[in-house]
C-alpha cells in the first residue's frame, strides 16, 4: 500500500463516480494523495490505510429524521461513539436514524461503505446537510474515499472545509460530540 500523488494514470475498471471525484479536485487545483486498497467496509479495515495516510480518518454517517424529509452527512473522528440524542439536540432534529442505501445513492451517488464528504459534489439540490464534529477540523490532513471504498484520499483539512465545500455549494454545521459511552 503506497501513497501516490493525484489521480491514477490508468483508469481502466474504475467507476465514473471515482473519476468524477478526481476531475472535481483537479479542476479546483486541490492537491491530494491517493492509496488504492481492497474494499474497506469497516473502521477496523481502515486501520492499515490510516497509518499510510497519516490523516484524520472519519466515520461518515448518513442519517435522516424520522419522516425521511431531512438528510445529514455526519463526520466524526473514527474513535468517537455516535449517540443520537447528543446530536439531535444540537441540530434541532429528533429521532435521527441511519438513512437507507437508496437515499444514499439518490443524493450522494454513493453506496454503503463508501460514504464520504466527496459525495456532496453529487448533491446538486443541497438535500443533505453536512455536520462536522469539531475534532475533525483540528488535524492538518483529512482522509476520505473518492466515492468508492477501494481508494482513499489524503487532503489538507483546510482545503476540504474551504474551497472544496464551497465549490460543492454546501455549508457545514460544526457540532460537538463527546463520544463517551
The whole-angstrom separation of Cα 34 and Cα 51 is: 13
Give the model's pLDDT for residue 180.
Answer: 59
pLDDT band at 130 (very low <50, low <70, confident <90, very high): very high
Give the model's pLDDT for residue 59.
Answer: 87
Instruction: Identify which has the larger pLDDT, 49 or 128.
Output: 128
pLDDT digits (tens, 9 = 90+) for 98-125: 999 999 999 999 998 889 999 999 999 9
Instruction: Identify which has the larger pLDDT, 94 or 18.
Output: 18
CA dihedral 140, 145, 149, 150 (to 10 degrees): -80
User: If you average pLDDT over every residue of the chain, what do you get?
Assistant: 91
Give the model's pLDDT for residue 95.
Answer: 84
pLDDT band at 43 (very low <50, low <70, confident <90, very high): low
Give the model's pLDDT for residue 181.
Answer: 47
The whole-angstrom separation of Cα 179 and Cα 181 is: 7
143 close to 152: Cβ distance less than 8 angstroms: yes
Give the model's pLDDT for residue 19.
Answer: 96
pLDDT band at 41 (very low <50, low <70, confident <90, very high): low
Write b or e for each residue in 146-161: b if 16 or more Cβ atoms lie within 10 A of its Cβ, otherwise e: bbbbbbbbbbbbebbb
Instruction: Identify which has the larger pLDDT, 42 or 33.
Output: 33
57 close to 46: Cβ distance less than 8 angstroms: yes
Give the model's pLDDT for residue 42.
Answer: 65
Amino acid at each position: 500500500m503506497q501513497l501516490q500523488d493525484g489521480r491514477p494514470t490508468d483508469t481502466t475498471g474504475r467507476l465514473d463516480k471515482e473519476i468524477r471525484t478526481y476531475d472535481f479536485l483537479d479542476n479546483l487545483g486541490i492537491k491530494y494523495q491517493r492509496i488504492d486498497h481492497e474494499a474497506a467496509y469497516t473502521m477496523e479495515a481502515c486501520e492499515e490505510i490510516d497509518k499510510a495516510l497519516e490523516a484524520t480518518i472519519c466515520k461518515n454517517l448518513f442519517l435522516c429524521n424520522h419522516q425521511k424529509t431531512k438528510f445529514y452527512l455526519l463526520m466524526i473522528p473514527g474513535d468517537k461513539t455516535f449517540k443520537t440524542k447528543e446530536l439531535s439536540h444540537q441540530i434541532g432534529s429528533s429521532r435521527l436514524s441511519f438513512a437507507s442505501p437508496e437515499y444514499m445513492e439518490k443524493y450522494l451517488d454513493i453506496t454503503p461503505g463508501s460514504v464520504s464528504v466527496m459525495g456532496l459534489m453529487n448533491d446538486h439540490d443541497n438535500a443533505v446537510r453536512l455536520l462536522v464534529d469539531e475534532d475533525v477540523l483540528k488535524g492538518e490532513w483529512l482522509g476520505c474515499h473518492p466515492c468508492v471504498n477501494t481508494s482513499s484520499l489524503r487532503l489538507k483539512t483546510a482545503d476540504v472545509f474551504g474551497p472544496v465545500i464551497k465549490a460543492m455549494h454546501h455549508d457545514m454545521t460544526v457540532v460537538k460530540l463527546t463520544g463517551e459511552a
